[in-house]
């Protein structure tokens, strides 16, 4: 293990090098570029043995990765924003085909208006695409997700593609000290990819076929079960990861002072760092506040959320997303989790960080104080004006 | 490998593959019912030039002792074989 | 000795499919796979051949085969080739079979990318001159004058007003190692080209005219004849591009009657004498260019 000063993108590239994908296909888009540039350098200097394919579009990036996965190769791609949307057809194809491809998505706003900065509307718009979706908080977790994502996605009972999301610029371009495991440790953690779901020259198969009304539901049911199996695979992966690397993760969510908290803020991605600082600050003032960070949006941590907030007085969801005409999609999902567990506490939704807009500590403090003062609402941070 | 008819029709959930991946060349239905006319090979006239075999879109004409024969399970009766036959060894007969 | 009906692999790899009777596309796929053999891995985008050959549990490819996205034939071929090579497997042929729409329209970008990278794949376009699988809509390879369901022939517009896109020379302009045109009316020529392509490293492209009785409005037993006639009347040609050079493989001494070719097909039945003259003129211009720029062999 070695300490390095790396940006989120670079840390992810180091993680991917340790995972040794046999095929990498990618098309450049800001702010994803550094991860593929870094991987190109690693292929050039011989420290990563991989076929690097310079595809002419994101659609081809994922189509190529599916071809590689369909012959049993480990495949990687990376994208962002418009690029993710351009490959949307291939997203559902990869999940329906049960190809455990890993993709890094640098979370970025979607046009229009054009904007290259971070929000999560790109990936959240694809929640129903059948991909596992994880959101990293920092560069270390980014690297660790790169390794763990393959372990989880490639479990036979999972066989589902994995999208790791890094907040554009805030995480992809910010430098931190990162522990980079050795290649030997990584090999001990991640076995080579083995699958029956492949074209096989010794045992020919027909893949990615049609299934009419009679059989279609069965395939979709199995796809859903595969996604539900992720929870167990995450637990296994993290246990194994802790044994080998000495860092322990906490499953689909991370709780920060939620046990005795009256007011809990639920969020995801890199903003959690600032929320943790705010929780510390308010705790010092005697406020019983906490953070629940969603590390995964798919599968959705229904039970974990219910368990964490069951004793709270109120909950707010802060997200960099809006489903126009409704509310933030994470908020919708959280409310559904609460309702299923018959938890009826007031909830609020704060939409922030759109197009890279900074979210301040003062704003986070205000969210907690609003909850305490029983002001429950849907609000765009920095715009103001309560909705509903 | 030539695709061939199988006995087992996967129906139950446990018989449906976990992935969209299955044994190559797995046939469960024939195409014979599509046909209004059927090619009949006159083995006396057939010179074994194999042009019918070559040009059949369904590949249902096969070599048979220096002549040709037809797999009627999968022939759709398009008639290309009759048209291509230079010696008039193929007739199209109405299906009853 | 080159392959022919007698020496061709007797094994059938595309069998029991649900293509319409007399389908030219299925004939092209069947013959190409017999040439390429059991170690070929076929990629077929959404389109006729995947629709008729891949309905679980009726799976009609005896070799390894996969459906790609409509636009992704070439890029999936790239991934398959790279994925196997990365595992040390090299004795196989990644072959794509896409229709005219899947090639010249929606799949053109991915195809261009693959040729640009010179990926070691064989791409075969079976050209039936319209979106037949969805019900005969115009593609950019639909010829001038053809009636389709989106270019109806009426009082104001007489079918498709645009000429057929020149895919062969577009592909060749990339500097591809090997490209060829073919017709299911000249199968021996096609067989020779597939065999030749399989032995060349880098990207290979073969464009084969494959009539569709349903879409062209011809009897099911006319597929092969009409595919021969389109070459004989000069509206299609058999050629190759190799080492930066164009080669004409077949030069009819005298063209057969264009009008006769057109009037056999219901998609052209509405054409006026003037339309037919336009088609002949454009044929003659094309052949002037072919005679000038293509070497005879």
- The model's pLDDT over A72-81, given as tens digits with 9 standing for 90+, comes to 999 999 999 9
Distance from CA of B26 to the nearest CA of A (A): 9
Query: Locate tokens 């389709």: which residue?
Result: C148
Where do the domains of chain A lie, and which CATH numbers do they carry?
2-245 (3.40.50.970), 253-387 (3.40.50.920)
Interhelix angle A8-19/A33-44, nearest 10 degrees: 40
Average pLDDT over residues C126-137: 97
Of the listed ranges A249-253, B81-85, C293-297, the least confidently predicted one is C293-297
Looking at chain C, which residue has its C-alpha nearest residue B11?
Answer: C57
Q: Pick the closest to residue A158 from A222, A113, A73, A84 (CA basis).
A: A222
Averaged pLDDT for residues A365-386? 89
Confidence of residue B80 (pLDDT cuts 50, 70, 90): very high
Going from the C-alpha of A93 to that of each of A97, A200, A228, B84, C76, the distances in angstroms are 6, 20, 19, 42, 12
Number of domains in chain C: 1
User: Which class for C275: exposed (0-12), middle (13-18), buried (19 or more C-beta within 10 A)?
Assistant: middle
Would you call A207 and C87 a contact, using CB atoms and an 8 Å cutoff?
no
CA distances A178 to A10, A160, A227, Å, are 10, 28, 30
SS3 B63: strand
B37 touching C, CB under 8 A?
Answer: no
**In 10 A of CB C71, how many CB atoms?**
25
- How far apart (Å, rounded) are the C-alpha atoms in residues C146 and C129? 9
Identify the bridge partners of residue A387 per DSSP, sorted by sequence position. Answer: A378
Which B residues in the span 52-91 are in contact with C, Cβ-Cβ below 8 Å? Answer: 53-59, 62-63, 74, 76-80, 82-84
Q: Does C2 touch chain B (CB under 8 A)?
A: no
Please give the angle made by the CA atoms of C290, C296 and C297, to the nearest 5 degrees. Answer: 145
B27–C59 C-beta distance less than 8 A: yes
Does residue C1 register a pLDDT over 80?
Answer: no
In a domain? residue C18: no
Query: In Å, how far is B49's CA from the nearest CA of chain C?
Result: 8
pLDDT band at B96 (very low <50, low <70, confident <90, very high): confident
Would you tell me how many other CB atoms lie within 10 Å of the CB of residue C58? 21
Residues pairing with A165 in the sheet: A105, A135
pLDDT value of residue A384: 76
Q: Are B87 and B42 in contact (CB under 8 A)?
A: no
Q: What is the dihedral of CA A311, A317, A318, A321, to 10 degrees?
A: 160
Average the pLDDT over A20-39 and give the result.
Answer: 97
The mean pLDDT value for C59-74 works out to: 98
What is the overall mean pLDDT for chain A? Answer: 97
For residue A186 the two structure tokens come to: 């990584």
Q: Mean of the pLDDT values across residues A312-338?
A: 97
Residue of C nearest to B77 (CA): C21
What does the pLDDT read at residue A382?
86
Q: List chain A residues with CB under 8 Å of B24.
A: 204-206
Distance CA A193, CA C130 (A): 41
CATH number of the CATH domain containing C163 = 3.40.50.970
Average pLDDT over residues A110-137: 97
Mean pLDDT of A265-269: 98
B13 touches chain C (CB under 8 A): no
Calculate the average pLDDT of chain C. 97
What is the bridge-based pairing of β-strands C122-127 and C93-99?
parallel
Residues in chain C with CB shorter than 8 Å from the CB of B63 are 10
Q: What is the pLDDT of residue A375?
A: 85
Greatest Cα pair distance, chain C, in angstroms, is 61
In a domain, C173, yes or no: yes
Q: Is residue C11 part of a domain?
A: no
Is residue C287 in a domain? yes
pLDDT 10s digits, B2-29: 999 999 999 999 999 999 999 999 999 9
State pLDDT tens for residues A278-324: 999 999 999 999 999 999 999 999 999 999 999 999 999 999 999 99
Neighbouring subunits of C (3+ Cβ pairs under 8 A): A, B
Confidence at residue A235, expressed as pLDDT on a 0 to 100 scale: 98
CB contact under 8 A, C23 and B51: no
Q: Is C163 a residue whose pLDDT tops 90?
A: yes
**CA–CA gap between residue C101 and residue C158 (Å, rounded):** 21
Beta strands B37-41 and B21-23 are: unpaired
Question: Does the beta-carbon distance from A197 to B22 stay under 8 Å?
Answer: no
Determine whether the interchain pair A55/C76 forms a contact, defined as Cβ–Cβ distance below 8 Å.
no
SS (H, E, C) C129-163: CCECCCCCECCCCCCCCCCCCCCCECCCCECCCCC
Nearest CB to B84: which of C11, C18, C224?
A: C224
Q: Is the pLDDT of residue B38 over 90?
A: yes
SS3 A127: helix
Inspect the interface and report whether the beta carbons of A204 and B25 lie closer than 8 Å.
yes
A291 within 8 A of A256, measured Cβ to Cβ: yes
Q: Is residue C4 part of a domain?
A: no
Alpha carbon distance B82, B89 (integer Å): 8
Domain assignment present for C3: no
Stretch B24-45: mean pLDDT: 97
Please indicate whether, in this complex, the C-beta atoms of B79 and C22 are within 8 angstroms of each other: yes
Q: Which residues of B touch C4 (CB under 8 A)?
A: 54
The pLDDT value given to residue C288: 97
CA distance A378 to A322: 11
Closest Cβ opposite residue B23 in set A159, A205, A219: A205
Give residue A376's pLDDT. Answer: 83
Chain A interface, best mutation among B6, B9, B18, by max A CB count within 10 A: B18
Q: Which residues pair with A298 in a beta bridge?
A: A133
Cβ atoms of C145 and C160 closer than 8 Å? yes
Determine what percent of chain A is predicted with pLDDT higher than 90: 97
Q: What are the extents of the domains in chain B?
A: 4-94
Listed by number, the residues of chain A in 16-55 with a beta carbon closer than 8 Å to a beta carbon of chain C are 22-23, 25, 50-51, 53-55
Name which CATH class applies to B4-94.
alpha beta
Give the pLDDT score at A387. Answer: 78
Structure tokens at A142: 């980014």
Q: What distance in Å separates the CA atoms of residue B56 and residue B77, rounded to the nearest whole number?
A: 10
CB contact under 8 A, A204 and B20: no
Q: Which two tokens stand for residue A6?
A: 């790396």
Domain enclosing residue C72, as ranges: 24-296
Query: Read out DSSP for chain C?
Result: ----TTTS----SB-S--PPTT-HHHHHHHHHHHHH-TTEEEEEESSHHHHHHEETTEE-BSSEEEEE-TT-HHHHHHHHHHHHHHTT--S-EEEEEEEHIIIIITTHHHHHHHHHHT-S-EEEEEE-SSBTTTTSB--TTSPTT---SSS-B-SS-BS--SPPP-HHHHHHTTT-SEEEEEETTSHHHHHHHHHHHHTSSS-EEEEEE---HHHHT--GGGHHHHHHHHHHTTSS--EEEETTEEEE----SSPPPHHHHHHTSGGGTT--HHHHHHHHHHHHHHHHHHHHH-EE-
Over residues A348-363, the mean pLDDT reads: 97
- Residue B31: closest CA among chain C residues belongs to which residue? C16
Instruction: Cis check for the bond before A113: say yes or no (omega within 30 of 0).
Output: yes
**pLDDT-based confidence at residue C5 (cuts at 50, 70, 90):** very high
Nearest by CB: B16 against A196, A204, A215 = A215
- Please tell me the distance from the alpha carbon of residue A367 to that of residue A360, in angstroms, as a whole number: 11
- Å between B44 CA and nearest CA of chain C: 20
- The pLDDT of C90-101, averaged and rounded, is 98
| pLDDT at residue C297, rounded to an integer | 83
Cα–Cα dist A316/A301, whole Å:
16
Touching subunits of B (3+ CB pairs, under 8 Å) are A, C
Whether A208 sits inside 8 A of C68 (CB atoms) is yes
Helix (H, G, I), strand (E, B) or coil at A153: helix
Angle at which helix A213-228 crosses helix A88-96, to 10 degrees, equals 90
% of residues, chain C, pLDDT over 70: 100
**Contact in structure between C157 and C147 (CB atoms under 8 Å):** no
Measured CA to CA, the distance from residue C179 to residue C159 in angstroms comes to 30
What is residue B58's predicted lDDT score, i.e. its pLDDT? 98
Residue A62 C-beta-side C-alpha neighbours within 13 Å: 32
pTM over 0.90: yes
């Amino acid at each position: 293990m070695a300490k390095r000063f790396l940006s989120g993108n670079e840390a992810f590239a180091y993680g991917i090098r340790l995972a040794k994908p046999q095929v990498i296909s990618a098309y450049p888009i800001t702010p994803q570029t550094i991860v593929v540039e870094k991987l190109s350098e690693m292929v050039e200097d011989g420290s990563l043995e991989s076929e690097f394919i310079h595809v002419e579009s994101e659609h081809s990036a994922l189509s190529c990765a599916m071809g590689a996965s369909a012959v049993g190769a480990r495949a990687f791609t990376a994208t962002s924003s418009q690029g993710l949307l351009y490959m949307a057809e291939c997203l559902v194809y990869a999940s329906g085909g049960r190809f455990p491809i890993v993709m890094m998505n640098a979370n970025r706003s979607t046009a229009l208006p054009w904007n290259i900065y971070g929000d999560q509307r790109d990936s959240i718009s694809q929640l129903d695409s059948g991909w596992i979706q994880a959101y990293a908080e920092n560069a270390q977790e980014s690297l660790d997700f790169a390794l763990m994502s393959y372990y989880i996605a490639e479990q036979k009972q999972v066989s589902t593609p994995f999208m790791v999301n890094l907040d554009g610029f805030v995480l992809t371009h910010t430098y931190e000290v990162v522990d980079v495991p050795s290649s030997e440790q990584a090999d001990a953690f991640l076995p080579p990819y083995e699958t029956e779901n492949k074209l096989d020259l010794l045992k020919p198969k027909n893949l990615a076929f049609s299934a009419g009304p009679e059989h279609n539901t069965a395939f979709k049911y199995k796809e859903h079960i595969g996604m539900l199996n992720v929870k167990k695979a995450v637990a296994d992966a993290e246990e194994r990861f802790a044994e080998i690397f000495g860092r322990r993760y906490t499953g689909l969510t991370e709780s920060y002072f939620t046990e005795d908290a009256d007011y809990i803020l639920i969020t995801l991605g890199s903003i959690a760092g600032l929320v943790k600082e705010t929780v510390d600050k308010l705790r010092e003032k005697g406020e019983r506040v906490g953070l629940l960070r969603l590390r995964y949006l798919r599968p959705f941590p229904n039970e974990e959320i219910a368990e964490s907030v069951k004793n709270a007085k109120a909950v707010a969801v802060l997200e960099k997303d809006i489903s126009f005409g409704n509310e933030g999609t994470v908020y919708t999902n959280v409310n559904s989790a609460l309702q299923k567990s018959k938890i009826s506490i007031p909830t609020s939704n704060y939409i922030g960080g759109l197009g890279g807009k900074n979210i301040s500590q003062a704003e986070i403090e205000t969210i907690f104080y609003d909850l305490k003062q029983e002001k429950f609402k849907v609000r765009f941070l920095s715009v103001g004006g309560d909705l509903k | 490998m030539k695709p061939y008819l199988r006995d087992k029709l996967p129906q139950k959930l446990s018989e449906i593959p976990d992935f969209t991946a299955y044994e190559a060349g797995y046939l469960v239905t024939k195409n014979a019912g599509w046909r209004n006319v059927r090619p009949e090979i006159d083995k006396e006239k057939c010179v074994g030039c194999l042009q019918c075999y070559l040009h059949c879109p369904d590949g249902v004409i096969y070599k048979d002792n220096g002549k040709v024969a037809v797999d009627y399970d999968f022939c759709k009766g398009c008639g290309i074989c009759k048209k291509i036959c230079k010696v008039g060894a193929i007739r199209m007969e109405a299906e009853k | 000795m080159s392959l022919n009906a007698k020496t061709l692999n007797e094994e059938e790899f595309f069998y029991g499919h649900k293509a319409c009777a007399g389908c030219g596309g299925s004939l092209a796929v069947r013959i190409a796979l017999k040439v390429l053999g059991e170690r070929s891995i076929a990629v077929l985008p959404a389109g006729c051949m995947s629709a008729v050959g891949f309905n679980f549990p009726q799976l009609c490819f005896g070799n390894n085969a996969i459906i790609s996205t409509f636009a992704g034939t070439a890029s999936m071929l790239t991934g398959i080739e790279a994925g196997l090579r990365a595992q040390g497997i090299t004795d196989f042929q990644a072959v794509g079979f896409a229709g005219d729409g899947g090639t010249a329209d929606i799949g053109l970008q991915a195809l261009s990318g693959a040729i640009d990278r010179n990926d070691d794949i064989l791409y075969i376009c079976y050209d039936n001159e319209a979106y037949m699988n969805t019900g005969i809509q115009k593609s950019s390879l639909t010829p001038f004058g053809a009636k389709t369901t989106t270019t109806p022939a009426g009082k104001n517009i007489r079918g498709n007003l645009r000429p057929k896109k020149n895919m062969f020379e577009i592909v060749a302009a990339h500097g591809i190692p090997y490209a060829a045109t073919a017709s299911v009316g000249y199968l021996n020529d096609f067989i020779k080209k597939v065999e030749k392509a399989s032995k060349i490293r880098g990207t290979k492209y073969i464009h084969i005219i494959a009539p569709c009785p349903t879409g062209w409005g011809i009897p099911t037993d006319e597929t092969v004849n009409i595919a021969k006639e389109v070459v004989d009347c000069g509206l299609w040609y058999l050629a190759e591009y190799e080492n930066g050079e164009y080669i004409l493989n077949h030069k009819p001494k005298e063209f057969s009657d264009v009008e006769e070719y057109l009037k056999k097909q219901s998609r052209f039945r509405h054409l006026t004498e003037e339309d037919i003259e336009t088609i002949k003129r454009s044929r003659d211009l094309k052949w002037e260019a072919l005679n000038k720029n293509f070497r005879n062999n």
